Amino acid sequence: MTASIATLSGPAFDVERIRADFPILAREVHGKPLIYVDNAATTQKPQVVIDRIDAYYAHENANIHRGVHSLSAEATAAYEAARETVARFVNARAANEIVFTRGTTEAINLVAQSYARPRLGPDDEILITALEHHSNIVPWQMVCQQTGARLVVAPIDDRGEVVVEEYLARLSPRTRLVAIAHLSNALGTINPLEALIAPARAAGAAVLVDGAQAVVHAPVDVQALDCDFYAFSGHKAFGPTGVGALYGRAELLEAMPPWQGGGDMIKVVSFEGSEYNDIPYKFEAGTPNIAGGLGLAAALDYFTALDLAAVMAHEHALLEAATARARAVPGLRIYGEARHKAAVLSFDIDGAHPQDLGTLLDHHGIAIRTGHHCAMPVMQRFGIAGTARVSFALYNTQEEVERIFDALERVRTMLVE
């Protein structure tokens, strides 16, 4: 396995060619070349995405769906083509199963308020895992407060893996919805979705997958997964901020009421009542982030043109190298050592606060993330307040791994000796 990873990370994957596509990687921070390893928070953008957004505002800017003039028709066609791109990317059955949102958080809240809230009562349960990001916890807590339903949590073990037996034990006839991360932002754990989704579906529960971290690090096929909803954000997939997508089974979206009211989500409005639009438009009230949708499509097209197996192998090789260096640092503890893991390395060091590590590494031009990573229950599970987190993407290099840990060892010496 190691040989195949090394091979794919080499000739089959030209990381320097990839890096040339991302203009920000050429800049310096504090007089040193930027090393950006905060990709679990947001990814950098290739020039094709920047150019697509610029082209919209320079040549196509108009509101969509309601105009008869040429600019509006062109913008509408481009926006709906972007929806088709997203549908192909996740293998939805049709483009009308894709709802554009502001990101994963809004997508999950939409499902919480439009799907779950009208269906739940005091005898019902929502099942999540202890790995979840706050965005896949708080919306369900709110729904439980609104309906009297109960939130049930499946635990994780010391490796940071969901305990599948405990998850299955918590599935019951009362479970109406399961909400699970595809990939943990805090630990890098890749959940065994097949082992989690199939039993939930068999129990009669709907399944939502939070795919914010996974879409450019693992294959995504919503039909193969057999999930009911899949949510992700553009900015973690080399696209713009403020845009994302919700996949939903058409039959479920058809049965769900709108979450927000306004323009474009209606067919007819009178003071006596309104007739709602078809899916997905009844969930897209108001003028959307048109440029964001076009930029997201450009990002997905860019990524789709790459060899996903080579990307995954390259990132795995970075994780292996970083893990090996981390194990050699005195006093360093790694959190999250799942057997199936993406290129995320969370750690702390005896005598060094994670925030101090992040601040001092920044002076070496190295951008990492520190804190609880919007996953406080994960931190509580391990009895810590937060970690330092290095998260890799396809444009990171083995040389950067070495520079990160050379700098980290110097910083550790400053802080603890």
User: Quick one: pLDDT at residue 39?
Assistant: 98
Residue 56: C-alpha distances to residues 2, 66, 201, 202 (Å): 44, 18, 42, 45
Query: What pTM, to 2 d.p., does this model score?
Result: 0.95
User: Quick one: pLDDT at residue 6?
Assistant: 33
Contact 201, 207 (CB under 8 A): yes
pLDDT tops 70 at residue 1: no
Question: Predicted confidence band at 263 (pLDDT cuts at 50, 70, 90)?
Answer: confident
**Topology classification of domain 2-33+307-416:** Aspartate Aminotransferase, domain 1 (3.90.1150)
Whole-angstrom distance, CA of residue 411 vs CA of residue 404: 10
User: Quick one: pLDDT at residue 277?
Assistant: 87
Q: What is the pLDDT of residues 146-182, one digit of tens each?
A: 999 999 999 999 999 999 999 999 999 999 999 999 9
User: 167 Cβ partners below 8 Å, 6+ apart?
Assistant: 127, 129, 154, 196
**Topology classification of domain 50-304:** Aspartate Aminotransferase; domain 2 (3.40.640)
Domain with CATH 3.90.1150.10 in the chain: 2-33+307-416
Mean pLDDT of 20-47: 98
DSSP states of 11-24 as a string? TT--HHHHHTT-GG
pLDDT tops 70 at residue 8: no
Mean pLDDT of 41-69: 96
Residue 227 among the catalytic residues: no
pLDDT tops 80 at residue 240: yes
Q: What percent of the chain has pLDDT over 70?
A: 97
Mean pLDDT of 211-227: 96
DSSP states of 150-188 as a string? EEEEE-B-TTS-B-HHHHHHH--TTEEEEEEESB-TTT-
Q: What is the mean pLDDT of the chain?
A: 95
Helices (H), 203-289: 222-225, 250-255
Mean pLDDT of 391-398: 98
pLDDT tops 60 at residue 96: yes
Which pairing describes strands 150-154 and 125-129: parallel, antiparallel, or unpaired? parallel
Mean pLDDT of 123-132: 97
Question: Predicted confidence band at 7 (pLDDT cuts at 50, 70, 90)?
Answer: very low
Mean pLDDT of 59-79: 94
User: Quick one: pLDDT at residue 416?
Assistant: 78
Q: What is the pLDDT of residues 325-379, one digit of tens each?
A: 999 999 999 999 999 999 999 999 999 999 999 999 999 999 999 999 999 999 9
Which pairing describes strands 387-391 and 125-129: parallel, antiparallel, or unpaired? unpaired
Nearest to 296 by CA among 87, 105, 133, 148: 87
* Helix, strand or coil, per DSSP, at residue 209: strand
User: Quick one: pLDDT at residue 344?
Assistant: 98
Q: Which of 48, 142, 374, 384 is catalytic?
A: 374
pLDDT tops 80 at residue 286: yes
Residue 298's Cβ-count burial label (10 Å; 0-12, 13-18, 19+) is buried
Contact 324, 27 (CB under 8 A): no
Of 29-38, 194-203, 267-276, the one with minimum mean pLDDT is 267-276
Domain with CATH 3.40.640.10 in the chain: 50-304
Question: Predicted confidence band at 12 (pLDDT cuts at 50, 70, 90)?
Answer: low
Range among 39-53, 57-71, 275-289 with highest mean pLDDT value: 39-53
